[in-house]
Amino acid sequence: MSALASDWLAFHADRTPDKVAMIDQGTGRSFTFAEMNQRAGRLAAYFRDAWGATAGDRLAILAKNSVMYFEFQFACAKLGAMMIPLNWRLAQPELAFILSDAGVKGIVYDDCFAERISELTRHAINDHALCIQLDGNPSAHDEYEDAINGAGDAVAMDAQTTHDTPMTIMYTAGTTGHPKGVVITHGMTFWNAVNISVPTGLNQNSVFYSVLPTFHTGGLNLYANPLIHTGGTSIIAREFDAGLMLRTLSDPALGVTHAFGVPSIYLFMSQHPEFDAADLSRIESWGCGGAPMPATLLKRYADRGIVVQLGFGMTETSPTTFLIDKRRALVKPTSVGKPLLHTRVRVVDENFRDVAVGAVGEVVISGPNVTPHYWQRPDANAESFTTDAHGNRWLHSGDAGMVDEEGCIYIVDRYKDMYISGGENVYPAEVEQVIFQLPAVADVAVIGVPDERWGETGKAIIVLKAGAELDEATLREHCAANLAKFKVPQSMALLDELPRNAAGKVLKRDLRRQFVGAEDTR
């Protein structure tokens, strides 16, 4: 039988009711654990009484970052319903698919998305919608607050809720076809909190600045949900702004101790005019994930005495799998280290055998933080999991990795981003690390493009620093001095910025579409 789950908000509302749980930077409002617990419980009562929502129902939220996002999450947990976070960057047809696929019963939405709701509710089971006033006129009628204030007695989480009970369905963006709904349980969320708290030192005295979008697993679980678990405080930014982040991290009155970002966030902060003067000495832990971080960027922070710990995770692993320890972070700047305490990882070949040291294989993951299944996708379940001879279940990450003699793992690249030039596998991340060494380069992505002689060759798509110049001859000369000949890009293009998703990952399918001209089939 699965272990029973706990209501983290209710626990801390009882133990430290007056402790500030979250600060909403956009509105300036702060909420204690007692207030958040009461509000979430009353919101659950509203969903039950006004919408007829019950355990097992799916409720969606389309909103930018706010404390209310977490109230909604815990309201769903108390009710036994599943939260469906909606990526507001998606087009209407994409959102419509998610609502229909999940069979959503109702939607809570940010008033800045009001014009999208009437069409989207046609794809839900019932025409239930509730508006949060965050971006609009402060004096306007606030349906969300009225719902909480007018609800009946606060709902408490069912005492029989277990770690196997689904808590969230988070849809992952696919390169082709429709996205898959990853089922995230109470247990997954718990084990992520435990896994990430150990290497970062999260505790009840920690203060975290949260800037990743909350429709993404990183925005929820790195580290806002773990801070609710430990009883610490999170400051929720409406959205990322490099200058605001530097000022927030520097403010002694706020006392931020923990920061997490994707590489692009660290890049943009390092390029901001306030970076060198910002007092970042109070930050105890800097985490990074979502994509490889250039070694040159790591050094930029190291020169200021800041050790950024590189990690790796997936929506399917809730998300934390790796966060390299501080003693290895600068010694092995391109490694994610060893798996965290309650997770197991292997790098395997096509026969599911462990690869030798230095060989490339697929990263597979097992542990209590791994999703039990995809929502209504038996095909994806069959393709994504392998059970070994010992009965252990492993998730296929789709990432190419390599293990060194110490057991540290290097994420080489996504298999789908690899291209073959003259019969040789080329992993763009390796080439990008070398190109980042050029002083003129602010950002770079490498893709494979068709070539009559070699099948494919590399194309470097580069964002230059302000006032800088770079030509193809200089690029190729630098790469030839640091890479095997077949890895050297044969062409380059300049852009003002690279397209990225909410996790900060470069959208290489968009670049292939732009520079190759064909629809991406990878």
Phi, psi of 51 (to 5 degrees): -105, -10
Largest CA distance in the chain: 72
Q: Model confidence over 330-382: pLDDT tens digits?
A: 999 999 999 999 999 999 999 999 999 999 999 999 999 999 999 999 999 99
Q: Which residues pair with 168 in a beta bridge?
A: 83, 184
pLDDT tens, 210-219? 999 999 999 9
Q: Report pLDDT digits (tens) over 394-433.
A: 999 999 999 999 999 999 888 889 898 987 889 898 999 9
Alpha-carbon distance of 442 to 80, in angstroms, equals 46
Question: CA torsion sign, 131 to 133 to 136 to 141?
Answer: positive
Smallest CA-to-CA distance from 109 within 133, 136, 78 is with 133
Confidence label for 518 from pLDDT (cuts 50, 70 and 90): low
pLDDT at residue 520 tops 90:
no
Give which of 370, 366, 295 is closest to 332, Cα–Cα: 295
- What is the dihedral sign for C-alpha 225, 226, 232, 238? negative
Q: Give residue-wise pLDDT tens across range 134-184.
A: 865 555 678 999 999 999 999 999 999 999 999 999 998 654 467 899 999
Q: At what angle do helices 33-51 and 8-15 cross, to 10 degrees?
A: 140
> Has residue 501 got a pLDDT over 60?
yes
What is the pLDDT at residue 175?
41
pLDDT of residue 359: 95
- The 3 state secondary structure assigned to 126-153 is CCEEEEECCCCCCCCCCHHHHHHHHCCC
More confident residue, 319 or 93: 319
Domains of the chain, CATH where assigned = 1-239 (3.40.50.12780), 418-515 (3.30.300.30)
The answer to whether 380 touches 395, Cβ cutoff 8 Å, is: no
Q: How confident is the model at residue 122 (pLDDT cuts 50, 70, 90)?
A: confident
Predicted confidence (pLDDT) per residue in 308-343, tens digit: 999 999 999 999 999 999 999 999 999 999 999 999
Q: Report percent pLDDT > 90 for the chain.
A: 83
Give CA separation, 403 vs 348, 354, 412, 433, in Å.
10, 10, 10, 18
Give dist(CA 113, CA 104) in Å, integer.
18
Asked if 312 and 303 count as a contact pair (C-beta separation under 8 A), the reply is no
Q: What angle do CA 49, 60, 263 make, to 5 degrees?
A: 145
Taking the alpha carbons at both ends of the chain, their separation in whole angstroms is: 40
The 3-state DSSP class for residue 74 equals helix
